[in-house]
Amino acid sequence: MKKLRDVMRPGFLVSVQCGATVAEAVRAMVDRNVGIVAVLSGDRLDGVVSERDVVRRVVDRGLDPALTKVEEIMTHDLVVAEADEEYQSAMLKMDQANIRHLPVVSEGRLLSMLSIRDLMRVELHAQGEEIRYLHEYLYQVPSGMAPG
């Protein structure tokens, strides 16, 4: 089974420091085309701010994103995964917590952020491999010679 460290995308980590405004966090999301930013104190993960957080906790309440600090709206109680966890475990955590993004840590240090889309790609690839194997087994077709 694949571990999260095997499926993490290098550089897929957008963050802002505590004290940043919501407007700065949104600009970081837009610039990197992501739906979530990690909020750090130095290199320690303090929380996350998602698009949903911005809509529900800023826009819906009529707050000014340029004046609102990320720590006022961020999610503090985080569900995280260890880099050496299997990807199915991470998918289960995300499903149970009803979240779309999962911070990946190792020894308390933030390494990456995975989306449910990232994990679904891994799952679809694994399912395709299993289907190919079963097809070869059922039809006794040598690997690489399956009919198209």
The more confident residue out of 10 and 4 is 4
Domain assignment of residue 30, yes or no: yes
Domain assignment of residue 146, yes or no: no
pLDDT tier at 120, thresholds 50, 70, 90? confident
pLDDT tier at 127, thresholds 50, 70, 90? confident
Percent of the chain with pLDDT over 70: 93
Strands (E) across 1-148 are located at 15-17, 36-41, 44-50, 81-82, 101-106, 109-115
Contact 32, 131 (CB under 8 A): no
Q: Looking at residue 142, what is its pLDDT?
A: 64
Instruction: Kindly tell me if the per-residue pLDDT of 139 is higher than 90.
Output: no
Domain assignment of residue 148, yes or no: no
Sign of CA dihedral 94, 100, 106, 110: negative
Domain assignment of residue 116, yes or no: yes
What residues pair up with 114 in beta bridges, in sequence order? Answer: 102
Domain assignment of residue 144, yes or no: no
Instruction: Kindly tell me if the per-residue pLDDT of 125 is higher than 80.
Output: no
Domain coverage including residue 107 = 4-139
Provide Rg for the chain, Cα atoms. 19
User: Mean pLDDT in the chain?
Assistant: 88
> The pTM is what?
0.77
Q: Quote the number of domains for the chain.
A: 1
CATH number at residue 113: 3.10.580.10
pLDDT digits (tens, 9 = 90+) for 28-66: 999 999 999 999 998 889 999 999 999 999 999 999 999
Average pLDDT over residues 63-87: 95
